[in-house]
Amino acid sequence: MMRILKTTAVLGIATATALGFTACNLDVKNPTVIDAATFNPNTDGTTLALSSQTNLYIAFQSVALFGGLVSDELWTGAARLQTKRLAARVFASSDDINADFFAPLSLATASNENAILALQGGPGAATDLNLARASMNMGFALELMAETMCAGVIQGGPQLSDTQLLDSAITRFTNAVTVATAAGSAGASILNASNVGLARAYLQKGDYAKAGQTAALVPASFSVNVLTSANVSTQATLGNQIYGSTVGGQLVAPQRYRIVDTRLPVDSSRPGSTLNGVKFVAQAKYNGYGDPIRLASGLEAQYIAAEAALHGSGNTASALTVINARRTAGGQGAYGGATDSLSVLTELLNQRARDFWLEGKKLGDLRRNPSVALGSVLTDPTTDPFYVPNKTPPAFGSSFCAPIPPQETNANPNFSP
């Protein structure tokens, strides 16, 4: 008998638009099971889809936190060698690749895929928002895997390239768009979030025309968040993990993020103010376990369209418009740099790094744009200090993606010699 995990309360999703996703109690407790033989899409679909969505939220937070170490959005003060190597962009088989990246992403893909399989045969599948939600969440999970991992695996299958993962994400986002559109106004939030994810997947893949076309469909005011839990019984898993690691003294705002910009709030007033003789400056973007993290937005869609135009045709007009608007938002003056495509792309990514700091996007940005100098997009190339318990940091590597961990390759027969 196949069993589908059920919880009596699940994590919801909120949006700044009037048409929000279903939001439930953030506590996850009293687990039971749904017997697949008696599963009813009409009565059990919401529980199944939202429970699977919780797994996406957990995976997203893990990627935002640990991927932030790789992309230099955070410095680590952890004593563990594994974490220090991660922050230095050096990956070893004994490191936490499975726990930090692969396992949560694998659970998110598996649970949402199972939800899709259970829901797509229901009598109202064509307009079922639970099916649309599961398809959207599956798309985000696959996209995160493509942006974070050097290659991926879905439910014990063969190794998949990033392009193959993105193709699968595109399929799932497209399905979500179809169902959410058919559902009418009730599906508007899922539709907009799916279009942001779809545009991002097209951009990451290099299909710039479709990226721009899809991004243009998203209202500028749209925003959707991953909700987190401030409940003491669940904050260790469902609370804002970036905040939790910050108050634990494990995370520090990197030097390049300590600049005058309202989008990059930091706190240098905490007691015990030095580590290795360097002032302890913490991120102040998230200040509680219940602080939400943005997942998708109309602002991101504008960035996607602008970058797609740069890559696709060399057109700098929309990028310069976004750059100047966002520089104004951050309290900077108008852009006065060079206007060739590479210079404008560099400045666009610099502004994007500020707007989406600690939101799980920068690692994909860096992998997508290897021609942009790291130091120009708030990223330490190799030599700047970061917080480790000794004054000699590990040698820096140059890998911006995590390999498939041995926990998968040793157990998956597709990797057998």
Beta bridge partners of 275: 278
Q: What is the distance between the alpha carbons of residues 377 and 364, in angstroms, rounded to a whole number?
A: 13
Cβ atoms of residues 60 and 38 within 8 Å: no
pLDDT in tens, 221-246: 999 999 899 999 989 889 999 999 88
Q: What is the distance between the alpha carbons of residues 113 and 52, in angstroms, rounded to a whole number?
A: 9
The token pair at 345 is: 């792309």
Cβ atoms of residues 32 and 8 within 8 Å: yes
Sheet strands (E) in 276-404: 278-279, 282-283, 293-297
Q: Is 47 in a helix, a strand, or coil? A: helix
45 vs 310 pLDDT, higher one? 310
pLDDT interval class at 10 (50, 70, 90):
very low
pTM of the full structure: 0.90
Q: What is the distance between the alpha carbons of residues 159 and 18, in angstroms, rounded to a whole number?
A: 41
What distance separates the 2 farthest-apart alpha carbons in the chain? 65
**What kind of fold does domain 3-231+290-407 have according to CATH?**
1.25.40
What per-residue confidence (pLDDT) applies to 14? Answer: 32
User: Which of 33-37, 77-81, 189-193 shows the lowest per-residue confidence on average (mean pLDDT)?
Assistant: 33-37
Amino acid sitting at position 323: I
Domain coordinates in residue numbering, the chain: 3-231+290-407
370 vs 90 pLDDT, higher one? 370
Q: To 5 degrees, how large is the angle CA 34–CA 37–CA 40?
A: 65
